[in-house]
Structure 1
Amino acid sequence: MFDRLSFPQPWLSFVLFLSWQILSDGVSGGSIVLGIILAWGVPQLTHGFWPERPAFVKAWRMPAYLLRVLVDIVVASFSVAWLIINPRQPRPAFITYPLSLEHPLAISILASTISLTPGTVSADISDDNKILLIHALNTASDQEVIDAIFNRYEKPLMEMFG
């Protein structure tokens, strides 16, 4: 009985409650009660759609990973801008990247990271989740891109997801 009264997605419940308090016109008893009802009800209604919980082994490494991604986005933005200004032609390539990650969330984070970084896009993933097809705007060699992605993104994700 108490299992049905629990919060199946506590972080989602917390965000919903805070969002409701921000959207309501001031904090009052009614807005707190309705916020708790929404924070409990929405995750209960959508519980069947959520996959299993992420298996973070070292979740404390996520802030450093996010900082690395933000720095890479800024640096890549300047590289792409320089590539546009420069009269030299870019050397685009489709690269098949062999995945070492197995957890679906980790693979999604890697693919999203690659797509967020200007100059690269995750184009497709194989049916068995072993190969990621990446388009690079400008690259000297496929191996250079593979090594950079593995060392900067996949390796830290493997440590986080175990």
Structure 2
Amino acid sequence: MSRLFPAPLLSVALFVLWLLLNLSVSPGNLLLAAAFAVVAPMLLAPLRPQHAHVRRPLVVARLICRVGIDVIQSNLQVALGVLRAGQRPPRSAFVHIPLDLRDAHGLAALSMITTVVPGTVWSELALDRSVMLLHVFDLQDETAFIEHFKHTYERPLMEIFE
């Protein structure tokens, strides 16, 4: 069964997404959605050699809520920073953040979080995965930012994936 459906949740998501994008549940679309939901994960399985193991689902829910709140707050902060740029230009900076997180899935989630939250962009990851370079739109205190970043994002991801 796992050979036919190597990623069952991905298959379900692809099936539903196909139907939503086509806005039709005609027999032809149902057949194409089913074929896509079965074939795509089988073809993509070799590209994902290790499977993620989520250890703390409650931490996942808290992290998603935290990221949602941060997205809203950061949108407002960046908008105000842009509007006030003539009076007080933002202090953009590149920040080196030492990482304790080593799991590939955790690092991928961290990169998505930093890209989704306005005002931060993941710029580089050291080859040994020990340090990441992050661009920050308006940096007040580098030490406080690093501590906040590690506490808010890295630690929960370590609980989830390691």
Task: Please tell me the TM-score bracket, short chain as reference.
Answer: 0.7 to 0.9
Could you say what secondary structure the match of 1:134 adopts? strand
How far 1:32 moved relative to its partner? 4.3
Query: 1:26 is matched with which residue?
Result: 25
Q: Is the 8 A contact 1:124 1:134 kept in 2?
A: yes
Percentage of matched positions with identical amino acids: 28
Q: TM-score normalized by structure 2? A: 0.86
TM-score by length of 1: 0.86
Distance 2:75 2:23 in 1: 38
Cross-structure match for 1:119: 119
CA deviation after TM superposition for structure 1 residue 100, in Å: 0.8
Aligned counterparts of 2:93 and 2:36: Cα–Cα separation in 1: 48
Long gaps (5+) in structure 1: none
Q: How many residues align?
A: 159
User: Does the CA-based 8 Å contact 2:105-2:161 persist in structure 1?
Assistant: no
The 3 A distance-change label for structure 1 pair 111 and 45 is: closer
Question: Structure 1 9/100 Cα, relative in aligned 2: closer, same or farther at 3 Å?
Answer: same
CA distance in 1, matches of 2:157, 2:78: 25
For 1:13 and 1:138, the matched residues in 2 are separated by: 41
Uncovered stretches (5+) of structure 2, i.e. residues with no partner:
none
Q: Secondary structure of the equivalent of 2:139?
A: coil
Match of 2:48 among 41, 47, 50: 50
Q: Which residue of 2 is the match for residue 64 of structure 1?
A: 62
SS of aligned partner of 1:129: coil
1:58-88: CA deviation from partner (whole Å, max 9, x where unpaired): 1332222112111111111111122222211
| One-letter amino acid of the counterpart of residue 94, structure 1 | F
Counterparts in 2 of 1:39 and 1:147: CA distance versus 1, 3 Å: same
* Aligned position for 1:41: 39
Q: Distance in 2 between matches of 1:82 and 1:24?
A: 39
* Structure with the greater alpha carbon radius of gyration: 1
- Cα distance in 1 between the residues matched to 2:80 and 2:23: 46
Residue 130 (1) aligns with residue 157 (2)? no
Alpha-carbon RMSD: 2.0
C-alpha distance in structure 1 between counterparts of 2:10 and 2:142, whole Å: 40
